[in-house]
Amino acid sequence: MAETLGMLCDKLTIVKLKEYHTQDASRLASLGEQALLLQEEIDEYLSLAVNGQIPPERLTFAANKVFKKEGNEVAEVVGKIGEVFYQLADVNCRLWHEQEKVYEFEKVPVEQKDAVVKQLAVLNLERNKCIDAINQQLINYIKKQQTT
């Protein structure tokens, strides 16, 4: 397994966004299959992780983003896995709509182009913080279970 729980959750939120934004029946069927497979993979991952079958060091791959923090403030990511998953879904929705502007970037007024690019960068940073937070929450949960 080369992915983490946070990465799998991220993929699932993106599949659900794609489902929401399409009406094509064959694409909806394909996306529905992808969603089910991701849900099964998440269940399997959690089972393996909780049962100690995934080494703790493989439960996370830190984003290790290198960026100038000043001027790139990112929302705090707090809460348990469910809360962070919700925040991840929210940031991916905002990211989706911001990315839509880029597909027709020539229509974005010149004075707004920098803001669009900046917003994409900040939202991606927040997305990575959510993924990392989900992974850390799982690690914390497993450590807690091992000590009780």
Taking only the tens place, the pLDDT of each residue in 60-93 is: 886 666 666 677 778 888 899 999 999 999 999 9
Packing angle, helices 5-20 and 25-50, rounded to 10: 160
Task: For 91-127, give one letter per residue: b (16+ CB within 10 A) or e.
Answer: bbbebbebeebeeeeeeeeeeeeeebeebeebbbbbb
Q: Please tell me the predicted confidence (pLDDT) of residue 1.
A: 53
Domain boundaries, the chain: 5-147
Q: What stretches in the chain show pLDDT beneath 70?
A: 1-2, 62-69
Which residue type occupies 112?
Answer: Q
**What is the rounded CA–CA span in Å between residue 136 and residue 128?**
12
pTM here? 0.89
Q: CA-CA distance, 15 to 113, in Å (whole number)?
A: 27
- Give CA–CA dist 145/57, Å, rounded: 17
pLDDT for residue 34? 97
